[in-house]
Each structure stands twice: as C-alpha cells, then as structure tokens.
Structure 1
Amino acid sequence: MRSAKYTGPGSAAQVVSITVIDAPRPAADEVLLRVGAAGLNPVDVKIRAAATDFGVIRYSDRPGWDVAGVVVAVGDDVEEWAAGDRVHALAGFPRAAHTLAEYAAVAASDLARIPRAWSTAQAGAAPLAALTAWQALDAAGVRADAGAGQRVLVLGGSGGVGHLAIQLAVARGASVVATASPGKHDLVRSWGADEVVDYRDEQALAAIAPVDAVIVTVDGTLPPRGAVAPGTSVISITGLTNAQRAQLAEWGASPVEWILVHADGVQLGEIADLADAGRVTVHLDAEFPLDELVSAQERVETGRATGKVVVIVDPEV
C-alpha cells in the first residue's frame, strides 16, 4: 500500500514522502480500514518539524490520526463492526496511528459511524478537532444538561477546532461570542455565533461582556480582561504558561485548564447524531490528494486555514 513517511525533522518539502509498504493486519480488538480521507491538524506539522515526541504525543515516521473509510476486515474480538461499515475515528491519539495511508488498523473502540449528512472528506477531517471541541466544552462546564443560558467566548472561531466549538456550544444551548478576521465574520455567524469580534480590534475586544466560559484555540492568546469574571472557566487547547495561569487566577477565572484530546468513539458517535440532525457541519478549507501531502501540510502551517484541511487518500471510498 501507499503510505506517507517522514525521513527526519524539517520542513514538509524536505522530509515528507510517499512510499510503498505492506498493509497492516488488525489486532484482535482492531478493524482494518480502507482509507478514504485523513484530516490534518496543527499537531501533525509540529511533530513532523521536530521529529520527536511532543509531550505525551508520540512521534512516528508514519503519520496520521484522523481517518475515515470503510471496514474491510475485523479482529477476532470485534463484534460491533463488520466489513462494509463506513466509519471514522481519531485513531489511538496520542499514540501513533499511521492513518495517512491506503489502509489503517484502528481500535474498534475509537470508531463511530460516518454521519449520513457528511461526505467522506468531512468525516476524515473532523475527529481530532470535533473531539477537542467536545472535550473542551465538557471541561468548561458547558454540557448539554447545563449549557442553556450560558455565554461562551471562542477565541479563534474560524479555525478547525473553533468552528466546531461554536456549533457544539450552540447545540448545548449556549450563546457564543467568537473572534475572527473581518472577512470571515459572516461565515462564523453562519455556524451559530451571536457576536463576532475582530481579533485585532482592541476596542471591540475590550467591550466583550463577561462570559461563563472561554475556549482558547489560538497559541499564546488570553481572553480580554473584561470577558473574565470570577468563576469564568478558561480552557486552552494550545497550552498555558505559568504566567498566563497566574494572570487568569488573578482575574478570578476558575477552572483554568489545558486539555489534550483523547480518542473516544462514543463521543464521536454523539457528534454524528448532531450532524445528522443538522446541528454540526465541517467546513473544508482545502482538499489535497495524498501525493500532494507536502502542499497540504504547508497550508496548515500558514495558520490561515478556515475550518479543516483534509487529505483524500482514495476518492472512491
């Protein structure tokens, strides 16, 4: 099979190649997928550039975590999936998973059915970003049974995680304020944001009234002071320095947490239900064939993608 490979640390143009290797065999608790699409995320390009583990996230020279495809074989202990099922997953994260390939072995527990409302490309692009948004909202206390009436600020509302966090927060009954560049405001509103603020407009940022929760999806960013009241939860998906934690604590934010997403087929299935109810969609910034993985990674590295970048491994799946 054809599979992406990194030859060492460096830029995408320097180290990304497509090679031919044997297809994997599924373990007893795994299924073998014929891969249709695999999403790219900022963590993919960060770990490629360093060619080493990124905290607890495991580096592999065979990359990929997001995946959508069709089941072609199941392990001996797998009962819930069968050949022909169309599924997607955040495969094994933060362990290595090797989904940027024509076939991938994925734990059955990581899988969920592909929503009827989504294309294979959307399903392949979604898992890491959608589960990150879901788990960040959980950590912030914005749950389906408690979200009604809450006000959520999403910093980076046009990005992969941000645009899904908006939709999932709205689906949980919250109202949403989001930041984005001016040219993307209408699109961000279409995802359910009640208010969209230019992230470069300091006066507009300062005017944001206190919110119940802040989801930070942009590296090095803190919410504006006026948005944080005692008890405002601040959840970052990019990391928090000690100085940032101290500043937020001084403002009264609680809890203040950095979260790392984990694979969860049950949660991904709940997101699929929302997708089929018309509550959640995946905006694709760009689609690239596997042979253009270098260009796909370079697009992610610009930091300007709207929604998700996805690699089409097999357009027939």
Structure 2
Amino acid sequence: MNDTTQASATMRAISQDALGGPEVLKSVDVSRPAPGLGQILVRVHATSVNPVDLMNRATGVFSGGKPPFVLGYDVSGTVAAVGPGVTVHRVGDEVFGMLPFPHGLGSYAEYVVAPARPFVRKPEGLDHARAAALPMAGLTAWQALVETAGIGAGSRVLVNGAAGGVGHLAIQIAKAHGAYVVAVAAAANAGFVRGLGADEVIDYTTTALSEATSDLDVVLESVGGEYPVQAVQVLKPGGILVSTLPPSLAAAASAAAERGVRPAGLFVEADRLGMRELAALAADGRITPHIGATFALEDVAKAQANKPGAGKTVLLVN
C-alpha cells in the first residue's frame, strides 16, 4: 500500500526548463510521487543514458509536452511503496525495468512511479548499475531479433552499431539463440564485439557492407543514413531489415520491395515478458550489460556529453 509519509516528502530530480544542450539540465527538489492504481514507487539506485534521452532534452520529440520535465526511462531500484491492486511486487523487492515509451519518462530522479507489471525482480548476481543498463537497450534488441525477426539456430544476423548499447546486447541475444552474427563496429571495438560472441567483424570505417557479407537473414540497423539501403543489398530474398530508426527506412523502401526484403521499423515497448526473458539470460550469464562509464546523478550533463567507446553510460542515484 501507499506510504503517505514518503508521498509527502521531497526528492532530488534532474529537470530542465528549456530545450537545448546538456547545460539545460539541473538538479532540483520536487515532491516525491505516490503510486496509484497498478503502480509501484521505486527508489532508484541507478538509471542509464539512452540516445532518446538526448533527443528529448534537445527537441522534446518524445517528452509528451514542453519543459519542465525529467528525462530517463531505465530503472533499477527497490520498491518503496505499492499502489492499489498490485500483487506482483512487495515493498523491499529489488526490481528493474523500463518506464513506458514514449511519454513515461522520469527516471533521472531518486524515486519514480512506474506501472507494476513491466517491472521484474532483479537477478541477485546483477548489480543495480548493470541492471539499469539493460531494460531499454535489451528490450529493443529482444523485440527486434526474437519477436520481430524470429531468429533461431543458424540464422545469419548482422548487427550495425554493434559496440553500442543496443548492439552489444543484440550480439549476446542472437548468440543465445544460436545465430551466426556479423558485427559492424570500428576497428578499435573489434576485440570487444568478438568477445561478446560475434563470428565476423566489419570495420565500417574502411569497408562497405556489400564488400564484406551477403545472404543474411536479418539486419538490425540502429545508425541510419545510408545503412538501410546498404542493408537491403546484403539480405537474401525473404530477409528482414529491422530498424530502430523507422523514418530512415523510407530511403530503402523501393529497393526492399525489389529484393523481396521486409523493412520493419521498431519503437521499443515496456514489456513484462521481454524483461523476464532478459532477466533469465542475465541470471544465467548468457548476457552481460557492459558499462562504458558511470556518473553520479548530479553529473548528468557530463554523462550526456560523454561518448563511451562501447556499452552504456550509467547514472548512479542512491
């Protein structure tokens, strides 16, 4: 049930009064929220920086309104209170998950209210920092490869942006399903992605996709630009191009139709089933989120300006 003492207290949060660069982010004291019907209040121990956070900060494209607002979707923490009707979590449970995309942001704070069911128990062997790096990026990779593309043993899968937040988890998810993985990454990250299980590595700074591979079943594309068109050329007829940047697929539509390739634009969804699968893979050591850098919540401006060489940037909250 709700803790009215907690609900009346204040908390730290990172807010912004204007759209712009990292400098618009500031630490403020705001009222601590209370969970409503079907919701939980989570004491946030860690959250992470996703590309969409930077987009929201600069343009408000997915924020659901004009500033002020609090950024952030990923959460790992402890249940502080539960709202009416919640049966899947209790106060004190360590949980992790993703706030509803696109308008459910708000994890750059000490506490956050979230729908109960998209959150699951955090595996004991996964610390809060790594758990916070997993939900949005992991669900994106899972929904793209497993639910949309239907990968399985022997699937030939190319992952573009393979060293990034989505990409490094996509490699591990694909390998856990028996796929053959071609990773596209800079030469400096070749060892990293091979260590995750990539069977081949293409250095995008020197080699075009069409020069290095072909006859693929699936391409997971998260970079945009000319890559969707290139991806169509290396997929076999009946293959699927899944993009996390749906507008970028327009340029490849005609070529995809000619080759019999299915283009699929994906926006990630908060999902209990996917989170349970990710938690199980993490508990078994079959996927491990890689943290490129960590920052305190108050240093979020530096965190958003940071460009980790691989993996995710994590904010440690409390």
The two structures have a TM-score, normalised by structure 1, of: 0.91
Please name the residue that 2:286 is paired with. 279
Q: Name segments (4+ residues, structure 1) moved above 6 Å.
A: none
Q: Which amino acid aligns with 2:29?
A: V
Match of 2:19 among 9, 13, 22: 9
2:134 equivalent to 1:126: yes
3-state SS, counterpart of residue 37 of structure 2: coil
Match of 2:122 among 103, 109, 114: 114
CA contact (8 A) 1:198 1:205 kept: no
The CA deviation at 1:107 is: 0.6
Instruction: Quote the Cα distance in structure 2 between the aligned partners of 1:127 and 1:265.
Output: 10
Q: Which amino acid aligns with 2:303?
A: A
Of residues 225-234 and 213-222 in structure 1, the stretch that sits farther from structure 2 once superposed is 225-234
3-state SS, counterpart of residue 272 of structure 1: helix
Please name the residue that 1:62 is paired with. 70
1:163-242 to structure 2, matched below 5 A, reads 163-202=168-207, 205-220=210-225, 221-222=227-228, 223-224=230-231, 226-239=233-246, 240-242=248-250
Deviations for 1:261-298, whole angstroms, at most 9, x for unmatched residues? 00012211111101111100000011000110001111
Instruction: Quote the Cα distance in structure 2 between the aligned partners of 1:184 and 1:26.
Output: 42
Match of 1:149 among 147, 150, 154: 154
| Unmatched 5+ stretches in structure 1 | none
Deviations for 1:25-81, whole angstroms, at most 9, x for unmatched residues? 00121111111001110000011101x334xx6356111111100011111211110
3-state SS, counterpart of residue 97 of structure 2: strand
CA contact (8 A) 1:199 1:205 kept: no
| Unmatched 5+ stretches in structure 2 | 1-10
The CA deviation at 1:242 is: 2.1
Instruction: Quote the Cα distance in structure 1 between the aligned partners of 2:242 and 2:208.
Output: 23
Q: Which amino acid aligns with 1:199?
A: Y
RMSD of equivalent CA atoms:
1.6
Q: Which amino acid aligns with 2:313?
A: V
Instruction: Quote the Cα distance in structure 2 between the aligned partners of 1:214 and 1:92.
Output: 26
Of residues 71-80 and 112-121 in structure 1, the stretch that sits farther from structure 2 once superposed is 112-121
Instruction: Quote the Cα distance in structure 2 between the aligned partners of 1:204 and 1:41.
Output: 26
Please name the residue that 1:311 is paired with. 315
CA contact (8 A) 2:76 2:95 kept: yes
Q: Which amino acid aligns with 1:291?
A: E
Distance 1:277 1:134, change over 3 A: same
Match of 2:43 among 31, 34, 51: 34
3-state SS, counterpart of residue 232 of structure 1: strand
CA contact (8 A) 2:118 2:272 kept: yes
3-state SS, counterpart of residue 230 of structure 1: strand
CA contact (8 A) 1:142 1:169 kept: no
The two structures have a TM-score, normalised by structure 2, of: 0.91
Please name the residue that 2:296 is paired with. 289
Q: Identity over aligned residues, as a percent?
A: 38
